[in-house]
Amino acid sequence: MRPTWYALRSPVMTPPIPTDMSSPSHPAVVSRTFGDPRFHTDAEIAAVAFAADGTAWSVDEAGLLRHWTADGQCLGRAFLSDLETLWVFSGDASLLASGNDDLLLWNTAEGQLLARIPQPNWVTAVAFSPDGRTVASGHDDGSVRFWDVRTQRLVGDIPAHPKAVSALAYTPDGERLATAGEDRIVRVWDAVTHKPLSELVSHTDRIPALVWSSDGTILVSAGWDTSARVWKPAESTDPLMLLNSHADQVVVAAFSPTGKLLATADSDYEIRIWADPLTAKARCVLRGHADDVRSLAFNADGTRLLSAGADRVVHLWDTVDGRLLAGPNPSGKHALAFIAGPTPLLASGCGKLRVWATATGDEVPPSGETPATAVAASPDGRYLAVGSTADHVVRLYDLAHPSDQPRHLESTRPPVGSLAFSPDGRLLAQTSPADGLVWLWNPTTDRADPELIVVEAADGCTLETVAIHPDSRLLAVGGVDVLSTGERDGAVCVWDRATKEKLMTFDVGVYAVAFDPQGKYLAGAGLTDRVHVWDLTSEQEVFVLEGHQQRINDVAFSPDGSYLLSGGDDATVRVWDMLTGRLMVMRELDSPVQSLAFSPDGKTLYTGNANTTCHQIEFAKLLEE
C-alpha cells in the first residue's frame, strides 16, 4: 500500500545502497578510513533543502537522496531513480518531485515513491504550493499543469507560454504562481482560478529561476543576461531594480524565509547575498564553489545558506559574515601530519582540525578545537602546528602538555599557507600567501618573534608550499605564476637559512615540494601535471615523471628514500622508483588525493582526500599491486 503523502515519520532512510553502487574502494589496500565524507557526494547535485529540524537534504542527478546533519555528517541515503533530469524539494523538504516524461512524487523522509504521473509533454519545471497539497509542472510545450498531490488528479491546465517553461514559483500564501518561459517573459497567475494577473517583460536572455519574498510582494527573476530583476507585480510591470553586479549569467536565486535576505548565484560560481534587493544593498559575496551552482536554500531564520551543484559538494555558509562553515570544495587543501609517539596520531586540516588515534580510529583532543587548512607535526611528536585561512595565527600545541592552551605565532596578514617542521624539530616554517613571506619560528623557545623572515620567497610567485632540508639549513619554497610575468609558470627557490641567501631557482610552477631523506633530491608537484625531480648537488633536473591526468597536489618520499609518491585530482596515488624514475604502481582511490604522509617506519601511508576523509594504506600491499 502506498504511504500517504502527509503521514511522515521521523526521518528514517531506506537501507544504504549496495557497495557496488558506491564510489570504488579497495579494502585490500585501504586498511582504515578516518572521518566521513561530509557534505560530499558522488555525482552532481540537483537540489538541496533544509528540513524543519535544521538537518539538510540533497539529491544528486544520479538519483541518490542524502540526509545530513548541520555540519555535514551523512545520516542516511537512499537510491530513488536515475532516469529523471529535474529534482525539486517542497518548501519544508517533506516532499520531493522529479521529472522527465513523467512527474514523480516522493516521500523524502521515507525515500519512497508516492506516485508516478504520466505526462503528455516533457517536464521542464516544478513547484510545490506552500501547503504541499498541489504541485505545478511546467512543460516543453509552454503549458503549466496543476496536480493534487494526494490523489494525483489534474486540477488545472494553462497555456502559459508559447515556448517551454523555464521556471515556476508560488507566493508564500499560495494564491499566485509566477511562470517564466523560453520566450523570456515572466507571467503571474491566480493559482486558484488560473487567470492571468501580470506580464513582466524585460529580460533579454533565458530566465532559469524565480523566487518570491516572504510577504509575496516582491518577485525576483534570475536571468542569463547577467542580472536578477526585482519586481512588484501588483504595482508595476516594470522592474524596480536590476541586480547587475554579477559578471556572468545568474542561474539560481533564493529568498530567506524571513524575507530579509536574497541569494543569487551566477555561472562564475559566485553567490551574492543581498541585504535589500529593492535598493541593491549587498551584504557579502560567497566564493568557494569549483563548478556550476544549481541550488540554494536558506534555513528558517536565514542565518545559514546551503548551496550545491556540479562540484558535488554541499556548501554551508554563515550569511552574517559570509564564512564557509562546512563543505570545502574538491580543489581545496586537505593537509595531513603524522604525529609520532607511544600512541601515534594523525592530524587532518580540511576546514577544521581533526585528530585520530591511528591504532583505533578514535577521535582525540585537540580535535575540533580550531579551523585548520594547514597542519604539521615535529618529527618527535612533541609539537603540532595548525593554521587556517581564517586568520594569521599559527596555533602551536605542545602535546606533552595536552591541557595547556596553544601558543600563538602571529604573522602579519591572513591566511596561513603551508607549514613544515625541520627534521630536528627546532624550526617551523610558515608561508604567508598574502604578502609572499616565509616565517621561521623556533617552537622550542618561548620567543614570540620569528627567527627569520624570508621576503619574496618564491620570486614573486604565489606561495604554495614549503619544505625544510634534512640538514635543517636549506629551505625550499615553491609557487605558481598564473600570469607568467617572468615568462614561466612559477618557481622553486632554495634558500640557505644561515647566510640568508637564495642558492638556486628552478623555473617550474609547483603546488608541493619535498626533500628526499638523504637530502640529495628535491621533488615538485608541477603545475603541468608532471612530477619534477632535481639533483641539489648538480642543480640539474634528473626526472620529469608523467602520467597524472589532472593537477598533482602533493609529493612525498618514502622514509628510506627508495620511492617517490604523488597524489592528485585524478584520484590516484602513484609510486615512482627513485633509481630509474619508473612508475611502479598506480592506484585509483575513491576521491581526489590532496595530501600524503608516511609513518616514520615507512610501513603505512596516509592520504588526505578531497571528500574530507583520510585513508590508511599498508605500503607493502600497495607495492604488491
Instruction: Give the per-residue pLDDT at 18.
Output: 33
The CATH number of the domain covering residues in 335-624: 2.130.10.10
pLDDT at 17 exceeding the cut of 80: no
Overall average pLDDT of the 237-247 stretch: 93
CA 557/CA 600 separation, integer angstroms: 11
CA dihedral 138, 159, 134, 265 (to 10 degrees): 40
Q: Which pLDDT score is estimated for 330? A: 56
Closest CA to 405 of 372, 381, 450, 370: 370
Q: How far is CA 330 from CA 21, 306, 400, in A?
A: 21, 16, 34
Asked if 424 and 444 count as a contact pair (C-beta separation under 8 A), the reply is no
* CA pair distance 201, 198, nearest whole angstrom: 10
Indicate the DSSP class of residue 319: T
Instruction: Give the percent of the chain with pLDDT over 70.
Output: 94
C-alpha distance across the termini of the chain, in Å: 50
pLDDT at 376 over 50: yes
pLDDT in tens, 134-165: 999 999 999 999 999 999 999 999 999 999 99
Residue with cell 614561466: 488
Mean per-residue pLDDT over the chain, rounded: 92
Q: How far apart are CA 140 and CA 122, in angstroms?
A: 6
- Kindly report the pTM of this predicted structure: 0.73
> How does pLDDT run across 508-544, given as a tens digit for each residue?
999 999 999 999 999 999 999 999 999 999 999 999 9
Q: Which residues contact 570 (CB under 8 A, 6 or more apart)?
A: 548, 549, 550, 588, 592
What is the band of 331 on the pLDDT scale with cuts at 50, 70, 90?
Answer: low
Return d(Cα 397, Cα 377) in angstroms, integer. 9
Across 405-421, average pLDDT: 94
* Positions of E strands within 164-249: 165-170, 176-181, 185-190, 196-201, 209-212, 219-222, 228-231, 241-243
C-alpha cell at 32: 582504515
Domain with CATH 2.130.10.10 in the chain: 335-624
From-to residues of CATH 2.40.128 in the chain: 1-28+45-118
The pLDDT of residue 469 is above 80: yes
pLDDT > 60? residue 406: yes
Cis peptide before 415 (omega within 30 of 0): yes
pLDDT of residue 611: 85
Query: Which DSSP helix (H) or strand (E) runs through 475?
Result: strand 474-480
If you average pLDDT over residues 95-122, what whole number do you get?
96
Calculate the dihedral angle through the C-alpha atoms of 106, 108, 110, 112, rounding to the nearest 10 degrees: 20
CB 336 within 8 A of CB 597: yes
Q: Which residues contact 580 (CB under 8 A, 6 or more apart)?
A: none
Which are the contacts of 598, defined by CB distance < 8 A and separation ≥ 6?
338, 556, 558, 559, 604, 605, 606, 619
Residue 9 has pLDDT above 90, yes or no: no
Q: Is the pLDDT of residue 24 over 80?
A: no
User: DSSP string covering 163-181, please?
Assistant: S-EEEEEE-TTSSEEEEEE
412 torsion bin: left (phi>0), alpha (psi -120 to 50), beta (else):
alpha
Tens of pLDDT, residue by residue over 281-310, are 999 999 888 899 999 999 999 999 999 999
Q: Give tens-digit pLDDT for 610-620.
A: 888 999 999 99
Percent over 90 (pLDDT), the chain: 84
Read off the pLDDT of residues 346-368 as tens digits, 9 standing for 90 and up: 999 988 899 999 999 999 999 98
Given a cut of 50, whether residue 13 has pLDDT beyond it is no
Report whether pLDDT(11) > 90.
Answer: no
Q: Which of 547, 551, 593, 588 is nearest to 23 (CA)?
A: 588
Average of per-residue pLDDT across 25-53: 87
Residues 266 and 252: their CA atoms lie apart, in Å, by 7
> What pLDDT score does 325 carry?
85
Q: Is 212 left (phi over 0), alpha (psi -120 to 50) or beta?
A: beta
Tell me the pLDDT band of 2, cut-offs 50, 70 and 90. Answer: very low
Residues 475, 451 contacting (CB under 8 angstroms): no
| 232's grid cell | 512588484
Among the listed residues 490, 492, 463, the one whose alpha carbon sits nearest the alpha carbon of residue 476: 492
User: What whole-number distance in Å separates Cα of residue 178 and Cα of residue 144?
Assistant: 11
1-28+45-118 has which fold?
A: Lipocalin (2.40.128)
pLDDT (0 to 100) of residue 333: 80
In this structure, are residues 260 and 275 in contact, taking their beta carbons and an 8 Å threshold?
yes
